[in-house]
Amino acid sequence: MEKNLNKVVTKTATKWKERAKKDRSNRRNITRAQAFALELLDYMDLHKIKQIDLANRMDVSAQQVNKILRAKANLTFETIDKIADALGVDISSPKIKSSNRTNSAIIQYSMQIVHKRKYRTIEEELTSEKIVKRNPVLQPNMENLDPYNYTAKQI
């Protein structure tokens, strides 16, 4: 009996590990399937459709619908069409989106332009005379400093 129990435990552990590896490598598809399953569940809740009713409308088993709703089924276009026909809705087809690869050429080009620019250093000799001309309050003479004449005790 102990040997049988060890076999069962070993098989279960192995299956779990295999499933985890598969899920890790297939994470993107699982996320998309989960999003679809959540939308489908929301629609079914809103319209009070049970899993068995959807299975009958799709002409599939209740287990198949359950797999779809748990995001465990690999959805084909045929399955998606069956769901759309059964619910009387339009499920949009997958769209082709441009990847970042097309933008990378533009970014590369603009980076080349930035790299080729030559920055000139403009050195301007700033003296206090120029600053004083712009702001006469800064002229250091006794007449301007009188209102600001404080002793250490006053401060």
Q: Is residue 79 part of a domain?
A: yes
> Mean pLDDT across the stretch 93-110?
61
How many C-beta neighbours within 10 Å does residue 107 have?
Answer: 10
Residue 65's φ and ψ, nearest 5 degrees, are -65, -40
Q: Is residue 132 part of a domain?
A: no
How does DSSP classify residue 151? -
How many C-beta neighbours within 10 Å does residue 44 have?
Answer: 17
CA distances from 45 to 31, 51, 92 (A): 21, 10, 21
Q: Is residue 68 part of a domain?
A: yes
Higher pLDDT, 145 or 76: 76
- Percent of the chain exceeding pLDDT 70 equals 54
Q: Is residue 135 part of a domain?
A: no
- Percent of the chain exceeding pLDDT 90 equals 30
57-77: b or e for each residue (b if 16 or more CB lie within 10 Å)?
A: bbebeeebbebbbebebebee
Range of the domain at 37: 9-87
How many C-beta neighbours within 10 Å does residue 53 have?
Answer: 15
> Mean pLDDT across the stretch 101-127?
53
Residue 78 is predicted with a pLDDT of: 92
CATH of residue 44's domain is: 1.10.260.40
Q: Is residue 146 part of a domain?
A: no
Six-digit token string for 98: 């441009």
Q: Is residue 83 part of a domain?
A: yes
Helix (H) or strand (E) holding 44, with range, is: helix 27-46
Q: Is residue 32 part of a domain?
A: yes
Residue 74 is predicted with a pLDDT of: 83
Q: Is residue 43 within 8 Å of 87, Cβ to Cβ?
A: yes
Total of domains in the chain: 1
Q: Is residue 31 part of a domain?
A: yes
